[in-house]
Amino acid sequence: MKKLFLLLSFVLALRVAFGQIDPELLRKPLKDTSGLQLNMDAVYNRPFIQLGKLPVALGGYVEANYQYLSEDGVSEGHQFQMRRLTLFISSSIAKRIKFLSEIEFEDGTKEINIEFASVDFEFAPLLNFRGGVVMNPIGGFNQNHDGPKWEFVDRPISATQMLPATWSNVGFGIFGKKYKKNWVYAYEAYLTNGFDESIISNSENKTFLPAAKENGDRFEESFNGSPLLTGKIAVKNSKIGELGLSYMGGVYNKFKDDGLILDKKRRLNVFAVDFNTTISKTNTFINGEWAWVNVDIADTYTEQFGRKQQGGFIDIVQPIIKKPMFGFDKAVLNAAVRFEYVDWNKGSFKSTGHNIADHIISVVPAISWRPAGQTVIRFNYRYNWQTDLLGNPPSKLAGFQFGFSTYF
Amino acid sequence: MGKKQLLGILVLSVLITGIISCGKLMPEAPADDEILDGPMEGLTPEQRRIFLRGDVAFNDEIFSVNNGLGPRFVATSCGSCHAGDGKGHPFTTLTRFGQSDTLANGFLHLGGPQLQQRALLGFQPEQIPADATFSKFTPPANTGLGLLEAITDATILALADEKDADADGISGRPNWINIPSYSLLRPGTVERNGKYIGRFGKKAAVYDLLQQTANAYNQDMGINSTYEPYNTYDGLEVDPEISNQTVLDVVFYLQTLKAPIQRNQNDADVIAGKQLFMNISCGKCHTPQLQTGLSSIAALSNKTIFPYTDLLLHDMGPDLNDGYTEGTALPAEWRTPPLWGLGLSKNSQGGQLFLMHDGRAKSIEEAILLHGGEASQSKINFQGLSSADKISIIRFLESL
């Protein structure tokens, strides 16, 4: 906390300093326009502002919204939410040594997280070493989650309530890329601290990977001394799109403590595929992710907690109007829709042989307006059908969300 | 800003306001008679607050290793066994073990009466002792329990006919049980040889909703309270894992859940079905109408209710004799289950029906045909009805 305070003080001091200097000295680092950026590049592909020749660059984004939702005819009324304020700091320590960080304040100051804080050493384009707090490259959303990049107020359910986005841990790993004409090939592999038993013992009453985020100790020590492996390969063609295949797995339970064997090693394995493309004829952007979760849970534990899960989302974004609007030269009005599905418990009841339900289906049509590329104002309508474990009639949730998200 | 753009904003604003105010885009609340949860009418604002606290504790409080679950357990929350306050699913069926005589459970020192068939990681679940008998109990619906609690002992005793004095083949009797020290005697409670009338549970072996709630926390989830302080794992007294206030809030919630509301009351089939139900003597045990006595909760006092139960034990024949008993109930004796809410059972049992005490009947007709013992004549009467009449009876039962 003390360190965080010092870091924030430093950031604030820098911002005060910026206010006193000639804005001409502020410059934005050059942007990659090759069209071959991948989800894994998201941490670099952010607008930073750099002061003159200082090696430190700053950035961030903020998002706030209003929502009115109703579940089975019961509403909590009008809600105004400050979802996130995120600060980025990056620094070129030496020619091929970089520091990147992301500090996030969620729901006011309810949660303060270091989501990313790593040092990258580039030995060759195909061999980079990264260490610190890294974002595990599972699926596409976890690494590429900045609010201003999305046309939807809510983050995808599968990414945040099945997979644990934003999921980051302390660890080390390597990554690299190779460009060949219109193609780019990339890989990432990290060993980090990982999950704990809260994923099958939590207040959600279901196998819930994000429960492990509550364990702040994971930035200090591993729950069970067993590393979590996360690996991803991705390929992109500038005309076709990007495809990523990723894996994350490791032991999640405390199988040994103080030298005593407590249980067998129980693993968690996650496989994910992500893709995105832009149909050039219509300029339609399609972005999606699907993941499968397998958790080794003792047969003697309750079936309430799923041994298998799967789910994903697909976003379709269609620019409708691209022209100056209200004095914004590059304004764009988009129509978009998101389809989501998560099955938190794939399997059948031992007692009846019938399928376990516990799933959600969601549709979110949206209109978004981008006065500039780094700012989005979005209006969403959400409709969820959530079915309980037993397969009883689904509860229905629907409502409207209106908000903005912008880099600064 | 141009006129067109201003107009655009105006149109968009009107559109958004229109959409938001359009209730059709929001899910409608289900009709009151289509759901079992919700408070009864007549509660004061203070009582509604307590109801809400109990609702949260019952339906939203999930137990895990962090807040006391287990180490052996059946379910992780109250709501896991009673989805939407309705009947439970075989997934959370309770297994009770003991013996077939009425000399009190001889397996309490071995973890009886309830089996905790699930366990936390690293622990082994409980096993039924080799020489114990057992029975499986499907969790019942919760609705209207406060009204059943408010029925006087005198009313129950008036319905009893232990020696079948009227020679109709039906001889309901109360289950006389020992009650826990924390249960408060209700006004007019009748005592016989230090025992009291039980009215909740498949065998009517529970005196009141406080006992039911404290037992369920303890036996179903491994949560100890000052009411039930002994750990089901090792039988040792441990610190409370839940506050008295929470237990009492849940008791209040159960007491004040509304009674199920009958649907399609004016449907010709339903009206005919009810008449046939009474004609073939189903109503002799499934007593349609009862009157509550005085209660400390005004909304429960002196109400006419339609639970279709007499809260008495009846011999249901050898096919329903599991060889297990509680209190003074014999193994073949079961308390008449209330039929109100029966028609909504599918909505809490995953779209299917699991009826009778252990869920063995998959339809209402199958449940009727499984009746034996004192109910044999009613079953024979049902079998003798025309198909149309049988359907009418089932329509009536589905309307409850």
In angstroms, what CA-CA distances link A24 with A21, A48, A89? 8, 15, 20
Partner-chain contact A398 B26, CB within 8 Å? yes
Domain with B344, as residue range(s), is 38-399
The single-letter code of the amino acid at A185 is Y
A399 CB within 8 Å of a chain B CB: yes
B350 CB within 8 Å of a chain A CB: yes
- Any domain includes B116: yes
Burial call B256-285: b when 16+ CB within 10 Å, e when fewer: bbbbbbbeeeeeebbbbbbebbeebbbbbb
B-chain residues near A74 (CB < 8 A): 29
Nearest-angstrom CA–CA distance, A244 and A290: 11
Spatial contact of A218 and A172, defined as CB atoms under 8 Å apart? no
| Nearest-CB residue to B27 (from A68, A70, A381) | A70
Partner-chain contact B20 A68, CB within 8 Å? yes
- Any domain includes B7: no
Burial call B27-50: b when 16+ CB within 10 Å, e when fewer: beebeeeebbbbbbeebeeebeeb
- Any domain includes B32: no
A-chain residues near B233 (CB < 8 A): none
The single-letter code of the amino acid at B263 is R
| Nearest-CB residue to B91 (from A197, A349, A396) | A349
Half-sphere exposure of B171 (CA within 13 A, CB side): 10
The single-letter code of the amino acid at A40 is M
Partner-chain contact A351 B91, CB within 8 Å? yes
A-chain residues near B90 (CB < 8 A): 349, 351-352
Q: What is the pLDDT along chain A (408 residues), one digit of tens a residue?
A: 444 444 445 444 444 444 344 444 445 555 555 567 899 988 888 888 887 778 889 999 999 999 999 999 999 999 999 999 999 999 988 889 999 999 999 988 888 889 999 999 999 999 999 999 999 999 999 999 999 999 999 999 999 999 999 999 999 999 999 999 999 999 999 999 999 999 999 999 999 999 999 998 999 999 999 999 999 999 999 999 999 999 999 999 999 999 999 999 999 999 999 999 999 999 999 999 999 999 999 999 999 999 999 999 999 999 999 999 999 999 999 999 999 999 999 999 999 999 999 999 999 999 999 999 999 999 999 999 999 999 999 999 999 999 999 999
Longest dimension (CA), chain B: 94
Partner-chain contact A390 B25, CB within 8 Å? no
A325 CB within 8 Å of a chain B CB: yes
Q: What is the residue whose two structure tokens read 């060889």?
A: B323
| Nearest-CB residue to A72 (from B27, B348, B349) | B27
Task: Choose among A174, A110, A127, A166: nearest CA to A143.
Answer: A166
Nearest-angstrom CA–CA distance, B264 and B267: 5
B-chain residues near A302 (CB < 8 A): 73, 75-76, 118
- Provide ipTM, 2 decimals: 0.89
The reported pLDDT for the residue numbered B14 is 67
| Nearest-CB residue to A253 (from B84, B121, B123) | B121
| Nearest-CB residue to B65 (from A201, A303, A396) | A201
Partner-chain contact B350 A354, CB within 8 Å? yes
DSSP-assigned letter for residue B243: -
Alpha helices in B25-75 (DSSP H): 45-55
B38 CB within 8 Å of a chain A CB: no
- Any domain includes B6: no
Q: Which two tokens stand for residue B61?
A: 């409080």
The reported pLDDT for the residue numbered A75 is 93
A-chain residues near B1 (CB < 8 A): 326-327
* Number of domains composing chain B: 1
- Any domain includes B352: yes
Partner-chain contact B64 A202, CB within 8 Å? yes
Task: Choose among B378, B371, B398: nearest CA to B278.
Answer: B378
The string of DSSP codes covering A194-262 is ---GGGGSSTTSS--GGGGGG-GGGGTS-SSS-PEEEEEEEEEETTTEEEEEEEEEEE-S--EETTEE-
At A385 the three-state DSSP class reads: strand
Question: Which residue in B has a C-alpha nearest to residue A298's C-alpha?
Answer: B121
pTM confidence score: 0.90
A-chain residues near B121 (CB < 8 A): 197, 200-201, 253, 263, 266, 298, 301
Task: Choose among B253, B260, B337: nearest CA to B79.
Answer: B253
Report cis status (omega within 30 of 0) of the bond before B113. Answer: yes
The reported pLDDT for the residue numbered B25 is 85
Partner-chain contact A73 B30, CB within 8 Å? yes
- Any domain includes B14: no
Residues B139, B144, B150, B153: is their CA dihedral positive or negative? negative
DSSP-assigned letter for residue B58: I
Question: Which residue in B has a C-alpha nearest to residue A262's C-alpha?
Answer: B122
Q: Which two tokens stand for residue B374?
A: 């004192």
Delineate the domains of chain A, giving CATH numbers in brackets. Answer: 2-407 (2.40.160.10)
| Nearest-CB residue to B125 (from A73, A300, A392) | A300
The string of DSSP codes covering A306-357 is -SEEEEEEEEEEEEEEES-BTTBTT-EEEEEEEEEEEES--SB-TTT-PBP-
The reported pLDDT for the residue numbered A51 is 76
- Any domain includes B153: yes
From the first residue on, what is the mean pLDDT of each consecutive set of 10 residues in chain B (400 residues)? 63 65 80 94 97 97 94 96 95 93 85 93 92 95 96 97 92 94 94 96 96 96 96 92 97 97 95 97 96 96 97 96 92 97 96 96 97 96 97 97
Number of neighbouring beta carbons within 10 Å of residue B151: 24
The reported pLDDT for the residue numbered A16 is 41
B349 CB within 8 Å of a chain A CB: yes
Partner-chain contact B26 A399, CB within 8 Å? yes
The reported pLDDT for the residue numbered A243 is 97
Spatial contact of B92 and B139, defined as CB atoms under 8 Å apart? yes
B46 CB within 8 Å of a chain A CB: no
Q: Which two tokens stand for residue B255?
A: 């007491």
Give, in degrees to the nearest 5, the angle at Cα B257 between B251 and B259: 135
- Any domain includes B89: yes
Partner-chain contact A304 B119, CB within 8 Å? no
Nearest-angstrom CA–CA distance, A307 and B326: 37
Nearest-angstrom CA–CA distance, A156 and A341: 9
